[in-house]
């Protein structure tokens, strides 16, 4: 059993300090908790940044200017060793919402002057009592929808709120049973390694039943939506995805994959490279291959996957195909920021 409580304490202290910061003080706060060469990965339009000053200028200062009285409302908090690098890297992962009053334009999205919820998943690698690497995924299309501007045609799944675990036990602030942690990681690994149905000589439904509970919940990102049960997941996501995006499909692997307790997940940069042949999310065909950066977080029960929260950098994926979602938003809404 590896004790990761020190890493958890550091990340929680960083989050508390960010919550108390404003646009003018956030750079100093980040510098207290991160290494000078801190590698930060964010979604489009921020992409990769290095060092606390750059991260503050590119993400946090504009965000804290647009949103006031920000609260961090986590649903999952776990720590673990990274399977991808031979269980060397020490990672702390949090998922939930950043809630605030959306009072000024952000990324061209007009303010609502009401409560707004920004979905997020954040992976932090800690080394020598400093955060040295971060991946922060936020659901920008979900925020756009809250402001009354849906950037995509009708979704394949349901567009709803994105709640935390049905079991309400995702905040693993204390050490978890290492046997349960290993079992959760094994269930996630089984999904990653699960061959295609055509290779196994079985139906896609049978293949998914090997790794998923029948009443699984797939909390997809805004623009795709959520699905409940294997049958509806196949109909509402897997089938449309497979029909439109399997040409030139390539799995690029993950940068981090870990688990603690009954929860775990991974992210890649990018996870997938594929060609959009048209139709998925109501979008036209793309000009060639495009990358997908993806986060998947899971709840495991009895050795199978029960819930799955997904973040995809859809704006980056669209930009590679010539669609500037934020530029179009700014032009239509007359926003700034």
Give the count of beta carbons closer than 10 Å to the beta carbon of residue 321.
Answer: 16
Going by the DSSP 8-state scheme, the letter that residue 33 receives in this structure is: H
Reported as a single tens digit per residue, the pLDDT across 179-218 is 999 999 999 999 999 877 777 889 999 999 999 999 999 9
127, 146, 165 - which closes a domain: 146
pLDDT of residue 1: 61
Reported as a single tens digit per residue, the pLDDT across 226-241 is 999 999 999 999 999 9
Domain that holds residue 234: 178-333
Q: Is 166 within the bounds of a domain?
A: no
Q: Which residues 6+ apart lie within 8 Å of 157 measured at CB?
A: 218, 220, 224, 225, 226, 227, 236, 237
Residues 129 and 194 in one domain: no
The alpha carbon torsion through 335, 49, 63, 218 (nearest 10 deg) reads 90
- Residue 172 · residue 165 · CB < 8 Å: no
Residues 136 and 205 in one domain: no
Q: How many domains does the chain have?
A: 2
Q: Is 47 within the bounds of a domain?
A: yes
Residues 183 and 324 in one domain: yes
In what helix (H) or strand (E) does residue 181 lie, and over which residues does it extend? helix 178-193
Closest by alpha carbon to 271, among 191, 202, 217, 214? Answer: 191
Residues 301 and 219 in one domain: yes
Residues 233 and 325 in one domain: yes
pLDDT of residue 334: 63
- Residue 313 · residue 322 · CB < 8 Å: no
Give the count of beta carbons closer than 10 Å to the beta carbon of residue 61.
Answer: 18
93, 127, 146 - which closes a domain: 146
Residues 136 and 196 in one domain: no
- Residue 278 · residue 284 · CB < 8 Å: yes
Q: Is 318 within the bounds of a domain?
A: yes
Residues 13 and 69 in one domain: yes
Residues 138 and 183 in one domain: no
Predicted TM-score (pTM) of this structure: 0.96
Residues 126 and 218 in one domain: no
Q: Is 151 within the bounds of a domain?
A: no
Q: Is 171 within the bounds of a domain?
A: no
Residues 182 and 122 in one domain: no
Number of helices (H) and strands (E) in the chain: give both, helices first: 12, 15
124, 146, 168 - which closes a domain: 146
CA dist 176 and 77 (Å) reads 12
pLDDT of residue 45: 97
Residues 142 and 194 in one domain: no
Residues 86 and 199 in one domain: no
Q: Is 167 within the bounds of a domain?
A: no
**pLDDT tens-digit profile, the chain (337 residues):** 689 999 999 999 999 999 999 999 999 999 999 999 999 999 999 999 999 999 999 999 999 999 999 999 999 999 999 999 999 999 999 999 999 999 999 999 999 999 999 999 999 999 999 999 999 999 999 999 999 999 998 778 888 889 999 999 999 999 999 999 999 999 999 999 987 777 788 999 999 999 999 999 999 999 999 999 999 999 999 999 999 998 889 999 999 999 999 999 999 999 999 999 998 888 899 999 999 999 999 999 999 999 999 999 999 999 999 999 999 888 876 644 4
Q: How far is CA 286 from CA 55, 247, 321, 322, 323, in A?
A: 31, 11, 5, 8, 9
> What CATH number corresponds to the domain at position 204?
3.10.450.50
């Amino acid at each position: 059993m590896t004790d990761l409580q020190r890493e958890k304490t550091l990340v929680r202290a960083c989050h508390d300090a960010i919550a108390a910061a404003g646009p003018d003080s956030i750079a100093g706060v980040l510098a207290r908790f991160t290494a000078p060469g801190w590698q930060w990965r964010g979604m489009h339009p921020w992409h990769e940044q290095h060092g606390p000053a750059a991260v503050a200028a590119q993400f946090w200062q504009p965000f804290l200017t647009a949103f006031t009285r920000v609260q961090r409302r986590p649903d999952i908090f776990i720590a673990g060793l990274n399977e991808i690098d031979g269980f060397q890297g020490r990672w702390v992962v949090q998922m939930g919402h950043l809630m605030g009053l959306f009072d000024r334009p952000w990324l061209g999205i007009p303010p609502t002057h009401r409560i707004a919820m920004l979905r997020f998943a954040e992976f932090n690698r800690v080394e020598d009592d400093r955060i040295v690497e971060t991946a922060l995924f936020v659901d920008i299309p979900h925020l756009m929808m809250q402001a009354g501007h849906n950037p995509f045609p009708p979704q394949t799944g349901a567009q709803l709120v994105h709640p935390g675990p049905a079991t309400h036990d995702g905040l693993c602030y204390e050490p978890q049973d290492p046997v349960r942690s290993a079992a959760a990681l094994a269930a996630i690994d089984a999904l990653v390694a699960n061959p295609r149905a055509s290779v196994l000589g079985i139906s896609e439904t049978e293949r998914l039943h090997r790794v998923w509970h029948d009443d699984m919940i797939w909390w997809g990102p805004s623009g795709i939506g959520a699905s409940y049960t294997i049958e509806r997941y196949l109909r509402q996501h897997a089938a449309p995805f497979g029909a439109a995006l399997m040409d030139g499909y390539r799995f690029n692997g993950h940068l981090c994959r870990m688990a603690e307790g009954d929860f775990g997940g991974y992210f890649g940069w990018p996870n997938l490279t594929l060609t959009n042949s048209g139709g998925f999310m109501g979008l036209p065909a793309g000009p060639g291959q495009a990358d997908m950066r993806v986060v998947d977080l899971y709840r495991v029960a009895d050795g199978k996957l029960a819930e799955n929260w997904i973040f995809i950098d859809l704006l980056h994926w669209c930009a590679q195909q010539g669609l500037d979602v934020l530029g179009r938003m700014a032009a239509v809404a007359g926003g700034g920021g």
